């Protein structure tokens, strides 16, 4: 080994290195595949001495690549790449020229990518042999591949080279592009899935494998760890195919623990996205997926399948699959899941505090299970104490929706037990469109869904191709193809007549144009200096049609164009999209379904968009466009944004932007000012000179100056709301403390400012369309995702800022739904629960404290005082005691006075309804 290392240090050429690799790969050479000092020195010399001198841009020798398919080889590559990348990313190296280091990182990363072929893990695993330390080495190899070490090194390398790739040669840039996608989570997970599959096949088919059981357990451990690297659905995308499904099932069965975790984060989300996302699925498809899923459920011990089905992200089709797959797995499992769900569904505490969207999912699961349970089981359920208590608790609930779910389940249960004499509450008139839609699927008078014996993959493959064709067709549909548009002379003309489009007729005329042709020229052999095209044609360009002109982009006309403009890395198009996006979305929402067709794709692009070109007022324009999309597609966009708020990979600024857009869109739906009409900062004409203004500026101005761009609008709205709601309380407190003469006359101007001219007949009456949408599409999805994702713990860094903004968003949504929404009591109860849970964090976090105070003001304002005292007496008293203990210790003067105002209002209410509070507490003590 020493002789080989000396040869490598002596600057060998390619043929010599190939000979050394061939010699090492021979069986009679000293074992270099084990992690020891000699093997580490060998690979260190190869990486640092030999490889840089042989870099001529060509492919790596296959013998060299095969040599690195070992634990010490891969480990040495990963360690060296990480070290070099870290040296570039460190603060101390900002001014250092890293050209040589970047070239070396690029070379090693390309070699590592070639090493990570389909069989690299299996090769490295079995090269470890059967030494005494084999178990430790195998664990190290698993950690290297599935424990994020390889992936982290490639990600660091790609991130460090991104800022220097503009200085690369053509060969270096080509090499960088070949391996860069592997630094993305999804691509690496796909590669890892191929590695796991290849390792399993090698283990099963090889006759030389002695410890096959241990090897299969290693495959299971790889599978489990790979779900924690991000993009876990990419695993199922590779394995849930006709060719790999059996291998996947066998590897899954060798996972020692946490099998349900793989189902929850990878298999179930993939099945829903791949097969069950396009409207109501037919019975054959649901049956086939259920049979496939049941094979996994049978290998899990008491999987909480119905708990997963309650989550807001699970749709009706997936719930049908969950119920049927549980049935296939065994009637005992179905009965246990049903009984546990019935207990949770009827629990009084859960009825009052669990989001309604989750309760609706529970009800769907219960009703879907009725057709799969035996009749004698249903009769037993109807006579149990848990069922009777559940129905009683729901009939006594605060909101109509919760009571409706209780009556609905009771009706469906009796229809299954006694079809001739069903229970009927006569509440069909209260069913909304969504409830009617899933009741059609749940119709107990149908034949129901039963397990079929058809070939699973024939149905799944057909469904997959149909779904893809539907998806592609939807994405490329154009409104101009409709018959009505053709009759009106095209879609552009229709817009020009009805929407006041500023398109000029000359823009639609065909004019001769010379197209610039660019030949593919080898840049290395060209000495010509390229000159930029002018921004516009010369003055006499109309007289000379041979001149080359650079055409400017026009504003987007269709929603599809708007989406493509936002996706392109082009300054002009992104600027046009942001400037005209909000108006285009609102105009298109008045007719057709074009906005709904592209709503989620557009929301995803806007939510994750970055200011690549330093566009002026980028965040404000993006917020205005996204809030217009929320208002134009309120049934699709808010639930989608609520989901990606917690599950997406977004920065703090982007998450706050999502919450702000939901709030501003809701206010627009409720008849208040749209986002682009809100001026968060005062007009310059109303400001004093800068020096004087800083002396006399109020805390609200300071708040707006220091807020994040996306919070300024919401801070402005909440500050105005706080001032409006606390005004009367402040005046009462001042009059009690200061005393003095009473005001006998009030000027008309002051009356108008205080909103006391309620008899103004010229005031326009507006309809609050947001009231009916608030609970289901705004409030419940946000709270549901909050609890599903683990609340503040899932937010991570800067959680106090985001938690405060989240609570404030819910409070503003609740205020916007007042007074027309029938779900105000339910939403109030859920908001109070959130407030009570975050009081501890508010002591050290000013944003959370301010949001809690705003929420309490809104709750006290929109709910009747007597009803508030009767329903939430315990919470009101607890909040008052908490404020009494904390308000004087608040460091911020503005927030402290605000807290004092809220405390005064609570004290006033409690003094007025003291007798009722005493009665409520006596009744509470009597029930304990």
Rank 273-277, 476-480, 638-642 by mean pLDDT and report only the highest. Answer: 638-642
Give how many domains the chain has, as a whole number: 5
Question: Which residues form the domain of 660?
Answer: 559-673
What are the structure tokens assigned to 651, written together? 């920065």
Out of 70-84, 121-135, 498-512, 810-824, least confident range: 498-512
DSSP string, 375-436: HHHHHHHHTSHHHHHHHHHHHT-SSHHHHHHHHHHHHHHHHHH-TTS------GGG--HHHH
- pLDDT for the residue numbered 919: 59
Model pLDDT for residues 875-901, shown as the tens digit of each residue: 888 998 998 888 888 888 888 888 888
The confidence band for 353, taking pLDDT boundaries of 50, 70 and 90, is: confident
Strand, helix or coil for residue 205: helix
The confidence band for 735, taking pLDDT boundaries of 50, 70 and 90, is: low
Distance CA 823, CA 817 (A): 9
- Asked if residue 680 belongs to a domain, the reply is no
The confidence band for 325, taking pLDDT boundaries of 50, 70 and 90, is: very high
In the block, which residue shows the tokens 């552009």? 492
Q: Comparing C-alpha atoms, which of 576, 560, 569 is closest to residue 621?
A: 576
Model pLDDT for residues 693-710, shown as the tens digit of each residue: 555 554 444 433 434 545
Same domain, 724 and 652: no
Q: Which domain-ending residue is among 461, 483, 510?
A: 461
CA 26 to mean position of chain CA atoms: 51
DSSP string, 736-796: HHH--PPP----HHHHHHTT--TT-TTSPP---TTTTTIIIIIIHHHHHHHHHHTGGGGT-
In the block, which residue shows the tokens 């000293």? 30
What are the structure tokens assigned to 598, written together? 């592209």
Same domain, 172 and 145: yes
The overall average pLDDT reported for the chain is 77
Out of 407-416, 680-689, 825-834, 901-910, least confident range: 680-689
∠ CA(342), CA(347), CA(350), 5° rounding? 110
- pLDDT for the residue numbered 575: 92
DSSP 354: S
Which residues touch 112 (CB under 8 Å, ≥6 apart)?
A: 68, 74, 77, 78, 81, 150, 153, 154, 179
What are the structure tokens assigned to 701, written together? 């101005």
Provide mean pLDDT across the span 654-678: 82
- Asked if residue 22 belongs to a domain, the reply is yes
Other Cβ atoms less than 10 A from the Cβ of 917: the count is 19
What are the structure tokens assigned to 413, written together? 């249960």
Same domain, 571 and 655: yes
Handedness of CA 335, 340, 346, 352 (dihedral sign): negative
- pLDDT for the residue numbered 42: 84
- pLDDT for the residue numbered 493: 32
Handedness of CA 59, 61, 66, 67 (dihedral sign): negative
pLDDT greater than 60 at residue 188: yes
Which residues touch 358 (CB under 8 Å, ≥6 apart)?
A: 310, 311, 312, 780, 784, 787
- pLDDT for the residue numbered 717: 76
First to last CA, the chain: 80
Which residues touch 760 (CB under 8 Å, ≥6 apart)?
A: none
Rank 45-49, 148-152, 656-660 by mean pLDDT and report only the highest. Answer: 656-660
Provide mean pLDDT across the span 435-447: 61
Distance CA 285, CA 317 (A): 10
In the block, which residue shows the tokens 């002051």? 750
Other Cβ atoms less than 10 A from the Cβ of 605: the count is 19
Out of 19-33, 374-388, 692-706, 879-893, least confident range: 692-706
Q: For the domain that residue 664 is a member of, what is the CATH number?
A: 1.25.40.720
Same domain, 175 and 211: no
319, 321, 323, 325: CA torsion to nearest 10: -150
Residues 913 and 919 sit within 8 Å (Cβ to Cβ): no
pLDDT greater than 80 at residue 528: no
∠ CA(254), CA(256), CA(262), 5° rounding? 80
Same domain, 192 and 179: no
The confidence band for 398, taking pLDDT boundaries of 50, 70 and 90, is: confident
Provide mean pLDDT across the span 273-292: 82
> In this predicted model, which residue has the larger pLDDT, 926 or 262?
262
Distance CA 557, CA 560 (A): 8
Same domain, 176 and 192: no
Provide mean pLDDT across the span 19-40: 74
- pLDDT for the residue numbered 464: 65
pLDDT greater than 70 at residue 215: yes
- pLDDT for the residue numbered 377: 92
Same domain, 6 and 55: yes
- What count of residues does the chain have? 928
Model pLDDT for residues 326-339, shown as the tens digit of each residue: 999 988 999 999 99
> In this predicted model, which residue has the larger pLDDT, 695 or 513?
695
Same domain, 210 and 316: no
- Alpha-carbon Rg of the chain, whole angstroms? 33
- Asked if residue 872 belongs to a domain, the reply is yes
The confidence band for 629, taking pLDDT boundaries of 50, 70 and 90, is: very high
pLDDT greater than 80 at residue 408: yes
- Asked if residue 504 belongs to a domain, the reply is no
What are the structure tokens assigned to 433, written together? 């469109």
Q: Comparing C-alpha atoms, which of 216, 296, 226 is closest to residue 263?
A: 296
Same domain, 143 and 238: no
Same domain, 213 and 326: no
- pLDDT for the residue numbered 425: 80
Same domain, 151 and 236: no
Residues 419 and 412 sit within 8 Å (Cβ to Cβ): no
pLDDT greater than 60 at residue 781: yes
Residues 142 and 221 sit within 8 Å (Cβ to Cβ): yes
Which residues touch 43 (CB under 8 Å, ≥6 apart)?
A: 68, 72, 73, 76, 77
- Asked if residue 701 belongs to a domain, the reply is no
Q: Which domain-ending residue is among 403, 432, 461?
A: 461
- pLDDT for the residue numbered 87: 84
Distance CA 459, CA 286 (A): 10
Q: Which domain-ending residue is among 257, 274, 302?
A: 257
- pLDDT for the residue numbered 798: 57
Distance CA 696, CA 424 (A): 67
- Asked if residue 474 belongs to a domain, the reply is no
- pLDDT for the residue numbered 85: 87
- Asked if residue 791 belongs to a domain, the reply is yes
Model pLDDT for residues 176-187, shown as the tens digit of each residue: 888 888 888 888
DSSP 449: -
CA 409 to mean position of chain CA atoms: 32
The confidence band for 120, taking pLDDT boundaries of 50, 70 and 90, is: confident
Distance CA 703, CA 191 (A): 49
Whether the pTM exceeds 0.85: the reply is no
> In this predicted model, which residue has the larger pLDDT, 513 or 38?
38
Out of 201-215, 395-409, 587-601, 650-664, least confident range: 201-215
pLDDT greater than 90 at residue 659: yes
> In this predicted model, which residue has the larger pLDDT, 278 or 488?
278
Same domain, 787 and 797: yes
- pLDDT for the residue numbered 766: 62
Distance CA 416, CA 412 (A): 7
- Asked if residue 697 belongs to a domain, the reply is no
Distance CA 365, CA 442 (A): 10
Provide mean pLDDT across the span 82-88: 87
């Amino acid at each position: 080994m020493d002789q080989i290392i000396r040869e490598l240090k002596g600057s060998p050429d390619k043929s010599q290195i190939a000979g050394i690799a061939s010699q090492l790969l021979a069986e009679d050479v000293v074992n270099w595949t084990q992690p020891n000092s000699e093997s580490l020195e060998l690979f260190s010399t190869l990486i640092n001495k030999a490889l840089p001198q042989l870099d001529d841009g060509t492919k790596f020798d296959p013998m060299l690549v095969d040599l690195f398919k070992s634990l010490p080889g891969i480990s040495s590559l990963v360690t060296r790449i990480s070290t070099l990348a870290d040296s570039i990313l460190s603060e101390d190296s900002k001014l250092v020229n890293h050209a040589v280091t970047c070239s070396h990182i690029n070379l090693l990363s390309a070699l590592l990518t070639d090493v990570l072929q389909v069989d690299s893990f299996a090769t490295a695993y079995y090269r470890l042999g059967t030494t005494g330390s084999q178990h430790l080495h195998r664990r190290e190899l698993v950690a290297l591949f599935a424990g994020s070490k390889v992936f982290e090194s490639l990600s660091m390398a790609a991130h460090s080279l991104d800022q220097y790739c503009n200085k690369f040669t053509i060969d270096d840039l080509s090499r960088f592009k070949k391996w860069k996608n592997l630094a993305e989570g999804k691509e690496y997970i796909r590669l890892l899935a191929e590695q796991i599959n290849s390792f399993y096949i090698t283990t099963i088919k090889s006759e030389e494998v002695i410890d096959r059981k241990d090897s299969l357990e290693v495959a299971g451990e790889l599978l489990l760890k790979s779900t924690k690297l991000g993009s876990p659905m990419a695993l199922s995308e590779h394995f849930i195919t006709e060719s790999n499904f059996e291998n996947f099932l066998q590897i899954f069965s060798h996972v020692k623990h946490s099998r349900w975790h793989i189902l929850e984060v990878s298999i179930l989300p993939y099945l829903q996205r791949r097969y069950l996302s396009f409207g109501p699925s037919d019975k054959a498809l649901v049956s086939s997926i259920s049979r496939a899923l049941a094979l996994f459920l049978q290998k899990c011990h008491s999987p909480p399948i119905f708990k997963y089905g309650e989550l807001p992200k699970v749709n009706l089709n997936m719930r049908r699959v969950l119920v049927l797959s549980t049935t296939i797995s065994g009637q005992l499992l179905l009965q246990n899941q049903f009984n546990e769900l019935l207990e949770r569904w009827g629990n009084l505490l859960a009825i009052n505090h669990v989001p309604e969207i989750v309760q609706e999912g529970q009800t769907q699961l219960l009703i879907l299970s009725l057709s799969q349970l035996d009749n004698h089981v249903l009769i037993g359920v109807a006579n149990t104490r848990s069922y009777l208590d559940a129905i009683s608790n729901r009939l006594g609930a605060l909101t109509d929706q919760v009571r409706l779910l209780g009556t609905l389940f009771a009706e469906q249960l009796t229809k299954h037990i006694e079809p001739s004499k069903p229970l009927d509450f006569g509440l069909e008139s209260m069913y909304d469109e969504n409830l009617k839609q899933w009741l059609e699927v749940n119709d107990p008078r149908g034949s129901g869904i039963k397990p079929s014996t058809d070939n699973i993959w024939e149905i799944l493959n057909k469904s997959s191709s149909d779904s893809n064709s539907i998806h592609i067709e939807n994405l490329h549909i154009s409104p101009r193809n409709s018959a009505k548009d053709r009759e009106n002379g095209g879609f552009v003309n229709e817009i020009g007549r009805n929407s006041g489009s500023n398109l000029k007729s000359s823009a639609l005329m065909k004019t001769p144009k010379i197209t610039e042709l660019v030949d593919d020229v080898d840049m290395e052999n060209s000495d010509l200096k390229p000159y930029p095209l002018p921004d516009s044609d010369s003055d006499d360009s109309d007289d000379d049609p041979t001149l080359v002109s650079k055409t400017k982009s026009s504003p987007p006309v269709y929603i599809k164009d708007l989406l493509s403009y936002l996706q392109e890395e082009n300054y002009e198009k992104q600027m046009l999209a942001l400037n005209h996006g909000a108006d285009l979305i609102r105009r298109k929402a008045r007719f057709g379904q074009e906005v709904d067709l592209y709503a989620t794709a557009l929301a995803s692009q806007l939510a994750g968009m970055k200011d690549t070109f330093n566009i002026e007022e980028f965040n404000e324009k993006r917020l205005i466009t996204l809030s217009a999309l929320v208002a134009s597609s309120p049934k699709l966009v808010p639930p989608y944004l609520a989901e990606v708020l917690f599950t997406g990979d977004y920065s703090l600024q982007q998450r706050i932007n999502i919450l702000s857009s939901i709030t501003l869109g809701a206010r627009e739906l409720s008849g208040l000012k749209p986002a682009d009409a809100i001026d968060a900062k005062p007009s310059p004409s109303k400001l004093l000179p800068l020096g004087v203004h800083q002396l006399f500026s109020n805390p609200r101005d300071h708040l707006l100056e220091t807020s994040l761009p996306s919070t300024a609008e919401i801070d402005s709205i909440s500050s105005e709301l706080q001032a409006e709601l606390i005004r009367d309380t402040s005046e009462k407190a001042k009059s009690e403390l200061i005393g003095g003469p009473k005001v006998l006359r009030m000027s008309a101007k002051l009356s108008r400012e205080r909103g006391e001219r309620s008899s103004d007949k010229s005031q326009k009456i507006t309809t609050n369309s947001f009231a009916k949408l608030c609970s289901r599409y705004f409030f419940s999805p946000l709270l549901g995702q909050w609890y599903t994702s683990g609340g503040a713990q899932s937010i991570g860094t800067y959680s106090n800022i985001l938690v405060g903004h989240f609570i404030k968003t819910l409070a503003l949504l609740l205020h916007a739904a007042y007074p027309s929404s029938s779900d105000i009591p339910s939403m109030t109860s859920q908001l109070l629960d959130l407030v009570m849970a975050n009081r501890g964090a508010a002591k050290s976090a000013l944003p959370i404290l301010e949001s809690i105070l705003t929420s309490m003001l809104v709750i006290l304002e929109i709910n009747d005082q007597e009803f508030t005292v009767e329903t939430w007496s315990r919470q009101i008293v607890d909040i008052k005691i908490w404020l009494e203990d904390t308000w004087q210790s608040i460091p911020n003067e503005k927030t402290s006075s605000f807290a004092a105002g809220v405390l005064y209002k609570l004290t006033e209410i409690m003094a007025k309804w003291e007798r009722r509070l005493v009665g409520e507490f006596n009744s509470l003590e009597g029930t304990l």
